[in-house]
Amino acid sequence: MFKHKNNLPFGADKFLAAFEGIEGGFAIGAGILAGLSFAGLDRKILLMTAVISIIVNGFNAAAVKYSTEHYLDELDGRETRRRFHQYFLPSLVEFVFYFLISLVSIIPLIVMPSVTAAIAYTCVVTVLILFVAGYWRAYLLGMPRWRDATETALLGLGIVGVGLSAGWLIHHFA
């Protein structure tokens, strides 16, 4: 049996929101780049499209976090008067981590000369970082580390795969 730790950085709600932002940011940033790679876009257009997509997806993730937590608490009768602290701050943390981590995922596209190599590198590094992040989160929560690390990496790989598949399908059938 694993023991849950209560002394998490930032508090449990913000800690988990940070990890949601890290996981979503890396995987979605890499998935968007992988999907867009089939469009044969100029590097500048590819970067602009990726950054705009990252901002919009990050905001969406934060909005979903806010509304889900708030409405579930309303339905359960546990709504707090500290809405800013209880709902807005975790959503803001998720957005900030999502945005910053997503930007990290596009750095290879900025510094590597080959767009294809940069996107492949981003996808591989994304899955590895997600594995490490899942392991670290499980360690801090007192959960099964290898299982959670593998799950996190596989979910990220799935998100990247969906982006890649969508780009391929659109490119070949549009």
Boundaries of every domain in the chain? 12-173
Q: Which residue has the higher pLDDT, 121 or 62?
A: 121
Indicate the residue type of 80: T
165: helix, coil or strand?
helix
pLDDT at res. 21: 64
Number of neighbouring beta carbons within 10 Å of residue 3 = 8
pTM over 0.85: no
Do 23 and 95 contact (CB within 8 A), yes or no?
no
Inform me whether the pLDDT recorded for 49 exceeds 60.
Answer: yes
pLDDT at res. 2: 44
User: Mean of the pLDDT values across residues 133-153?
Assistant: 89
**Distance of alpha carbon 106 from alpha carbon 119, whole angstroms:** 8
User: Mean of the pLDDT values across residues 62-81?
Assistant: 74
Place of tokens 């930007």: 103
User: Mean of the pLDDT values across residues 133-161?
Assistant: 89
Q: pLDDT band at residue 150, thresholds of 50, 70 and 90?
A: very high
Inform me whether the pLDDT recorded for 84 exceeds 70.
Answer: no
> In this structure, what token pair is assigned to residue 41?
């876009």
Residue 52 to residues 33, 56, 76, 101, Cα–Cα distance (Å): 12, 6, 36, 14
